[in-house]
């Protein structure tokens, strides 16, 4: 089936919802999302959204903290424009109905690692759910927005000049692949935490947007910078539950099984050191002691105060038998955020004409080698707005082409797979390999091993793609394979340690290496060919 619209937005997290809502003022918007619309990383965001709105705060201070966290790799122009626009974007969220927590009639600002002062607006500890609720309500009410749930984008469609014309998408219920054509296409598919076996991300975060863009010939940048959040709840039955950094902002201490606080051994800022340092410190403690987790001690706060400030985390911990008012919370690091992604300019344009990218899928240059906490929701808002402004001012960027010659999806000679177990095996293998060889601490040898294995797996997976009819699992397996390979290739190309990328064989930053790692189909680093 063929569907045609002005704007095709792929993804219904904060980036996709806000883009769709804004673009509906310019034309018809089709919003594709792979599961139910609210299922996205945005929905699970806890800490909040950073903006210099406090009386003692300035965008300059926010910029300084962002640049410091980014360890010399941020694009300074992008950082400045994002922090300058932040207060206006937060006001816009309020106007759209987002209810942030307040204290004495003003926003209640939280503190997170790397921020010089309290500047994180939050809605209790369920900020993301509140933002997604408000925006989804808007999009459902927008007459110009049509939401296609349970539709998984498979590939970008390009015409014979290489211009993006939309995407193919698999409908879960029928197994049919539909053709969606659009005058402009927006990737808002989020990150790729599922490339790792342990992650804070929901199941939808398989890097599909990065993989689709890559296959279409777009440029990816800085894929080696994967942020590991230091504190994910450690419990056999708890899948991907984050223990927010805001707990450390309120005085939480990281301790070992005997109750010894260890962060002073690693950094003068202790628990509020940058996230990469805290994650590596925990990793080192786990390797040193052979224990399976460390603990976050919040017992300095009363049960009542914990319930009031962290109601969701408090309840979730209790459900797993941890009363955080009396016992420390078992925690481990987990893959959390991709600083790299599809390379865009300051106006969200990718290197493919009429293909735009907003949110975690994109590499704008804001985060550099390490993202400052709570800058990601902000990035979604700022760039959704810039996309809208660009397309509003420049209609020539989305002309009305003739799509009639575009081919519909052709399954070729593919047959139904009777080997689901093979897909499952490859999924597990990639995710475990990435955790063990391309995780918090890397080395030349581990990266080489990982790449050798991925080259074999990529061949196998491409073969299934041609032989078997598409399923959601096969689409996602293809995506994590592309993303895993890009992370490894980028990590191999960076012959230094910087921010989130730590390589035992090159343990220090090297000035000559202080540049972005840029990958495209036409430019794979020689070391990994
Ligand atoms: P997402 O919100 O992940 O949305 C992606 C969407 O794309 C989903 O709807 C998904 O279904 C859809 N999609 C993906 N592939 C396809 C496909 N092939 N076809 C169709 N649809 C597709 N950041 C902060 O700034 N502050 C925080 O407090 C914070 N807390 C966090 C807590 C957790 C647990 C996590 C996981 C992340 C947190 N982050 C936080 C990071 C932040 O939430 C994300 O970076 C941000 O929400 C990404 O938004 P997005 O719209 O780009 O992507
Ligand atoms: C958290 O609440 O710790 C997550 C904040 C973020 O990832 O920005």
Give the three-state DSSP class for 338. strand
Start-to-end C-alpha separation, the chain? 39
Residue 526 has pLDDT above 60, yes or no: no
| Residue 527, pLDDT score | 44
Residue 524 has pLDDT above 60, yes or no: no
Residue 417 has pLDDT above 80, yes or no: no
- Say whether 275 is catalytic: yes
Residue 429 has pLDDT above 90, yes or no: yes
Residue the block writes with tokens 């792979």: 34
How much is the average pLDDT of 52-59?
96
pLDDT per residue as tens digits for the range 169-212: 999 999 999 999 999 999 999 999 999 999 999 999 999 999 99
How much is the average pLDDT of 410-436?
87
Q: Whose CA is nearest to atom 31 of ligand 1?
A: 45
Which one has a higher pLDDT value, 418 or 336? 336
The alpha carbon of 250 and the centre of ligand 1 are apart by a number of angstroms equal to 25
- Beta-bridged to residue 412, according to DSSP, are none
- Measured distance CA(339)–CA(367) in Å, rounded: 6
> What mean pLDDT is reported for the chain?
95
**CB within 6 Å of ligand 1 — which residues?**
10-16, 32-35, 39-42, 44-49, 127-128, 152-153, 188-191, 200-201, 204-205, 208-209, 242, 337, 359-361, 374-377, 380
| Residue 418, pLDDT score | 73
| Residue 523, pLDDT score | 62
Does ligand 2 lie within 6 Å of residue 244's CB atom?
A: yes
pLDDT per residue as tens digits for the range 213-228: 999 999 999 999 999 9
pLDDT cut 90: percent of the chain above it: 88
Q: Whose CA is nearest to atom 1 of ligand 2?
A: 244
| Residue 471, pLDDT score | 93
Residue the block writes with tokens 């360890």: 71
Domains of the chain: 2-225+339-395 (3.50.50.60), 227-335 (3.90.700.10), 421-518 (1.20.58.100)
> Where in 143-247 does DSSP place strands (E)?
145-148, 151-158, 164-171, 177-187, 220-221, 226-233
Token output for 246: 């805001």
How much is the average pLDDT of 508-518?
97
| Residue 455, pLDDT score | 95
- Measured distance CA(502)–CA(507) in Å, rounded: 7
pLDDT per residue as tens digits for the range 337-388: 999 999 999 999 999 999 999 999 999 999 999 999 999 999 999 999 999 9
Residue 5 has pLDDT above 90, yes or no: yes
- Beta-bridged to residue 145, according to DSSP, are 29
pLDDT per residue as tens digits for the range 278-322: 999 999 999 889 899 999 999 999 999 999 999 999 999 999 999
Active-site annotation holder among 138, 183, 248, 275:
275
Q: Whose CA is nearest to atom 28 of ligand 1?
A: 47
The alpha carbon of 41 and the centre of ligand 1 are apart by a number of angstroms equal to 3
Helical axes 444-467 vs 472-493, angle rounded to 10°: 150
- Measured distance CA(179)–CA(408) in Å, rounded: 6
- Confidence band (pLDDT; 50, 70, 90) for 493? very high
| Residue 364, pLDDT score | 98
């Amino acid at each position: 089936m063929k569907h045609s619209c002005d704007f095709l937005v792929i993804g219904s997290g904060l980036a996709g919802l806000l883009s769709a809502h804004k673009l509906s003022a310019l034309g018809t918007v089709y919003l594709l999302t792979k599961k139910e619309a609210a299922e996205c990383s945005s929905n699970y965001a806890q800490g909040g959204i950073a903006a210099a709105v406090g009386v003692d705060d300035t965008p300059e201070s926010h910029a300084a903290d962002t640049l410091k966290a980014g360890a010399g790799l941020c694009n300074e122009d992008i950082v400045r424009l994002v922090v300058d626009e932040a207060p206006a974007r937060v006001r816009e969220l309020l106007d759209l109905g987002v209810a942030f927590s307040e204290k004495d009639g003003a926003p209640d600002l939280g503190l997170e690692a790397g921020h010089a002062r309290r500047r994180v607006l939050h809605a209790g500890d369920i900020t993301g759910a509140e933002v997604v609720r408000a925006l989804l309500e808007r999009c459902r009410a927008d007459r110009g927005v049509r939401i296609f749930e349970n539709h998984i984008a498979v590939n970008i469609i390009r015409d014979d000049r290489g211009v993006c014309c939309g995407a193919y998408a698999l409908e879960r219920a029928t197994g049919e692949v539909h053709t969606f054509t659009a005058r402009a296409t927006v990737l808002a598919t989020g990150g790729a935490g599922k490339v790792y076996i342990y992650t804070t991300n929901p199941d939808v975060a398989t890097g599909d947007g990065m993989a689709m863009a890559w296959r279409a010939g777009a440029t990816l940048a800085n894929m080696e910078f994967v942020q590991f959040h230091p504190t994910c709840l450690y419990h056999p039955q708890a899948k991907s539950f984050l223990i927010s950094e805001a707990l450390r902002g309120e005085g939480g201490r990281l301790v070992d099984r005997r109750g010894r606080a260890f962060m002073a051994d690693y950094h003068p800022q202790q628990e509020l050191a940058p996230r990469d340092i805290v994650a590596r410190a925990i990793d080192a403690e786990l390797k040193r002691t052979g224990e399976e987790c460390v603990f976050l001690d919040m017992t300095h706060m009363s049960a009542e105060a914990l319930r009031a400030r962290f109601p969701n985390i408090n309840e979730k911990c209790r459900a797993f038998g941890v009363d955080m008012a009396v016992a420390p919370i078992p925690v481990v690091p987990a893959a959390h955020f991709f600083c790299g992604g599809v390379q865009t300019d300051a106006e969200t344009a990718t290197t493919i004409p009429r293909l735009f990218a907003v949110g975690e899928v994109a590499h704008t240059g804001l985060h550099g080698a390490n993202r400052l906490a709570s800058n990601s929701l902000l990035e979604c808002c700022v760039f959704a707005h810039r996309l809208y402004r660009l397309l509003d001012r420049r209609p020539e960027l989305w002309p009305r082409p003739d799509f009639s010659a575009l081919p519909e999806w052709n399954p070729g000679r593919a047959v139904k797979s009777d080997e689901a177990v093979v897909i499952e095996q490859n999924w597990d293998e990639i995710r475990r390999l990435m955790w063990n060889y391309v995780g918090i601490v890397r080395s030349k040898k581990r990266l080489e091993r990982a790449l050798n294995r991925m080259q074999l797996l990529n061949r196998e997976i491409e073969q299934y793609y041609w032989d078997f009819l598409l399923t959601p699992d096969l689409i996602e397996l293809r995506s994590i394979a592309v993303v895993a390979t890009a992370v490894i290739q980028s990590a191999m190309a960076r012959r230094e340690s910087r921010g989130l990328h730590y390589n035992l064989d090159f343990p220090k930053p090297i000035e000559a290496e202080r540049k972005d790692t840029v990958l495209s189909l036409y430019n794979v680093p020689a070391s990994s060919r």
